[in-house]
C-alpha cells in the first residue's frame, strides 16, 4: 500500500470517529477580498461566502440568503484561520519567567508544572486558547504533557471545548522524563467525548535513554494503542535530535499517523525517510530560536510535503502571534541566504493555513476556503496605520510583513462568530485576566516557597 493511500485511510478513520452538533446559524460574508489558500486557487476580489451551520456552502458573487446574518467585508481580506500545528497551552501562565540563566525554559517550566492543579490547567489552557483565537488562529494542535491524573486531563479538554477553538489535544504524560506511562485508560475514556471540533491524539515522547529497552517497551505500547484507536501522534525530536530521529526510523515508527516536531538539525536522509513514510513535520521558528535549537531554515525542510508551523507555547514564544512566526521564518531565511526574495510570502501564508492543517491530518476539514469545508475564517482589516500605504497587487507580503493580531477584526470557528468588531464575543475579559494572573502568581509563590 502506498504511503499516500495510507495517509488518506488514516485521515478518513480519524475523522469518522465522531461528529459534533453543528451550530444552527446562517452567515453571509459580503464583498471581501478572498485568499482561499487552495493549492492552485486564485484570489477572488469582491466575493461572498455563505455559511450554514458549521460549513461553507457557497462561494461566489452577489449571494443572497434571507435568513443570514450579514458580515460586511468590503475593503478587507478574508482568509482561512491560521492553524497552529503545535503548542503547549498549559505553560500560558508562565509568561515572562523564561528570561536568563536563572530562568531557562525547561528547568522553570518543569518546576512550575508540578505545582499546577486542575483549575490552574483550565485557566492556562482556556486563556491561551482565547489568545490564539483573538490573533486569527482558529485551530491548535495542543501537546498536553502535564497530566498528573484524570482531573488534569479533563480540565485541559474542557478548556479547549469551552473556548470555541478547533483542536487536537495530544494527551501526554505527567512530565518530560518519560519514566511513567501515559494513562491510556483515561485517554480512551476522553476519546468517547471527542467531537468534530475538539479531538484527541497522543502526545508521545521517546525515551531519554535511547538504550533503555524497558522504557522502549512502554513507549511502544503507547504508540500501538494510538494506531489501534486511530489517534494522531506527535513526537518531539530535539536535544539529541539526530539520534532520536534515527531511533524513529530504525524502529519503524514513521508513518502517516505521526507528526515530528522541531527536528531542527535533521539530516537530509532523515527528512527523506519522513517524506517517504507519509508523516508530518511541524516547525516552531520563534521558540526553536528562543531556546537555542538553532536557526529554523525553511528551505532545509522543503522536501517534506506535510509540513506546518506552530507557536509552541504562548508564553515561550512571547505571544500567540502567527504573523510574528511568519516574519521570523522569513527573515531567518532571507538573512541566511543573503537573498531578499526568499521565502515567497504566498508560500508562507500557505504554510500557516493549508499546509499546517495537512501536517496534523486536518486538511480535509480546514485550512482553506472551499465549499464543503468547515467555516474556520479570519477577516483582516487593513484600514489601519500599520497596514496603510498599500497601493495594490498581491496582498500576501502586506499580510506577512505588516499585519498584527489587532488587524484581525473577525474570527469564525465551525460557523460560530468568536470575534467581531475586534472583540472576543461572550467573554468577561476583565474577570478572565484577573483569574489567569492570580493563578500565575500562586504558582510562582508556591514554587519559590519550597526552594
The neighbouring-strand residues paired with 419 are 411, 424
How many C-beta atoms surround the C-beta of residue 235 within 10 A?
Answer: 25
Domain count, the chain: 2
List pLDDT tens digits, range 132-150. 999 999 999 999 999 999 9
Residues 140 and 70 in one domain: no
List pLDDT tens digits, range 215-247. 999 999 999 999 999 999 999 998 788 999 999
Q: How far apart are CA 371 and CA 379, in angstroms?
A: 17
- Answer whether residue 167 is part of any domain: yes
Residues 70 and 86 in one domain: no
Indicate if the pLDDT at residue 448 is higher than 50: yes
pLDDT (0 to 100) of residue 102:
75
Residues 138 and 219 in one domain: yes
pLDDT-derived band of residue 213, with 50, 70 and 90 as boundaries? very high
- Answer whether residue 430 is part of any domain: no
Residues 276 and 388 in one domain: no
Residue 388 is placed in which grid cell? 496603510
**Among the three residues 309, 328, 359, which one is the final residue of a domain in this structure?**
359
Residues 60 and 175 in one domain: no
The neighbouring-strand residues paired with 424 are 419
pLDDT-derived band of residue 451, with 50, 70 and 90 as boundaries? low
Strands (DSSP E) found in 53-117: 55-60, 69-72, 77-80, 82-87
Residues 205 and 263 in one domain: yes
The CATH number covering residue 388 comes to 2.30.40.10
Q: At what angle do helices 150-163 and 184-191 cross, to 10 degrees?
A: 30
pLDDT-derived band of residue 450, with 50, 70 and 90 as boundaries? low
> Is residue 286 within 8 Å of 266, Cβ to Cβ?
no
pLDDT-derived band of residue 106, with 50, 70 and 90 as boundaries? confident
pLDDT (0 to 100) of residue 399:
99
> Is residue 110 within 8 Å of 164, Cβ to Cβ?
no
Indicate if the pLDDT at residue 365 is higher than 80: yes
Residues 189 and 116 in one domain: yes
Residues 67 and 102 in one domain: no
Indicate if the pLDDT at residue 8 is higher than 70: no
Residues 146 and 254 in one domain: yes
Indicate if the pLDDT at residue 15 is higher than 50: no
Sort strands 198-204 and 233-237 into parallel, antiparallel or unpaired.
Answer: parallel
Residues of the domain holding 416: 3-78+375-422
Indicate if the pLDDT at residue 176 is higher than 90: no
| Largest CA-CA distance found in the chain, in angstroms, rounded | 66
Indicate if the pLDDT at residue 17 is higher than 60: no
Residues 86 and 70 in one domain: no
Residues 133 and 256 in one domain: yes
- Distance from chain centroid for Cα 218: 27
Q: Look over the chain and give the mean of its residue pLDDT values, rounded to a whole number.
A: 93
Residues 38 and 179 in one domain: no
pLDDT (0 to 100) of residue 178:
81
Angle (nearest 5°) at CA 340 between 336 and 341:
115
List pLDDT tens digits, range 289-312. 999 999 999 999 999 999 999 999
Amino acid at each position: 500500500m502506498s504511503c499516500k493511500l495510507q495517509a488518506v485511510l488514516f485521515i478518513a478513520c480519524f475523522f469518522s470517529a465522531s461528529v459534533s452538533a453543528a451550530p444552527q446559524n446562517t452567515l453571509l460574508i459580503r464583498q471581501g477580498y478572498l485568499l482561499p489558500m487552495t493549492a492552485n486557487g486564485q484570489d477572488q476580489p469582491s466575493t461572498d461566502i455563505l455559511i450554514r451551520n458549521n460549513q461553507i456552502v457557497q462561494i461566489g458573487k452577489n449571494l443572497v440568503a434571507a435568513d443570514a446574518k450579514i458580515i460586511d467585508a468590503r475593503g478587507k481580506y478574508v482568509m482561512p484561520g491560521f492553524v497552529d500545528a503545535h503548542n503547549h497551552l498549559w505553560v500560558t501562565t508562565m509568561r515572562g519567567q523564561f528570561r536568563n540563566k536563572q530562568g531557562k525554559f525547561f528547568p522553570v517550566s518543569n518546576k512550575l508544572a508540578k505545582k499546577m492543579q486542575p483549575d490552574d490547567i483550565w485557566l492556562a489552557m482556556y486563556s491561551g486558547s482565547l489568545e490564539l483565537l483573538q490573533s486569527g488562529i482558529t485551530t491548535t494542535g495542543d501537546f498536553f504533557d502535564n497530566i498528573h491524573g484524570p482531573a488534569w486531563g479533563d480540565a485541559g479538554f474542557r478548556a479547549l471545548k469551552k473556548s470555541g477553538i478547533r483542536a487536537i489535544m495530544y494527551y501526554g504524560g505527567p512530565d518530560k522524563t518519560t519514566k511513567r506511562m501515559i494513562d491510556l485508560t483515561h485517554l480512551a475514556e476522553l476519546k468517547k467525548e471527542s467531537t468534530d471540533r475538539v479531538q484527541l491524539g497522543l502526545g508521545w515522547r521517546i525515551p531519554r535513554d535511547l538504550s533503555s529497552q524497558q522504557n522502549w517497551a512502554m513507549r511502544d505500547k503507547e504508540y500501538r494503542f494510538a494506531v489501534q484507536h486511530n489517534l494522531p501522534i506527535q513526537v518531539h525530536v530535539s536535544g539529541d535530535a539526530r539520534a532520536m530521529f534515527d531511533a524513529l526510523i530504525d524502529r519503524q515508527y514513521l508513518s502517516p499517523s505521526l507528526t515530528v516536531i522541531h527536528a531542527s538539525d535533521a539530516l537530509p536522509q532523515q527528512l527523506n525517510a519522513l517524506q517517504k513514510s507519509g508523516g508530518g513535520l511541524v516547525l516552531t521558528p520563534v521558540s526553536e530560536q528562543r531556546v537555542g535549537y538553532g536557526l529554523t531554515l525553511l528551505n532545509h525542510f522543503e522536501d517534506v510535503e506535510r509540513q506546518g508551523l506552530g507557536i509552541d507555547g504562548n508564553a515561550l514564544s512571547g505571544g500567540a502571534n502567527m504573523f510574528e512566526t511568519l516574519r521570523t521564518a522569513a527573515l531567518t531565511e532571507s538573512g541566511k541566504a543573503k537573498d531578499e526574495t526568499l521565502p515567497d510570502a504566498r508560500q508562507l501564508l500557505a504554510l500557516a493555513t493549508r499546509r499546517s492543517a495537512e501536517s496534523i491530518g486536518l486538511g480535509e476539514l480546514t485550512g482553506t476556503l472551499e465549499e464543503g469545508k468547515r467555516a474556520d475564517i479570519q477577516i483582516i482589516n487593513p484600514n489601519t496605520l500599520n497596514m496603510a500605504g498599500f497601493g495594490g497587487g498581491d496582498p500576501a507580503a502586506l499580510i506577512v510583513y505588516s499585519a498584527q493580531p489587532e488587524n484581525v477584526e473577525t474570527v469564525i470557528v465551525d460557523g460560530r462568530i468568536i470575534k467581531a468588531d475586534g472583540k472576543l464575543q461572550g467573554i468577561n475579559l476583565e474577570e478572565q485576566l484577573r483569574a489567569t494572573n492570580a493563578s500565575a502568581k500562586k504558582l510562582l509563590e508556591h514554587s519559590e516557597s519550597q526552594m
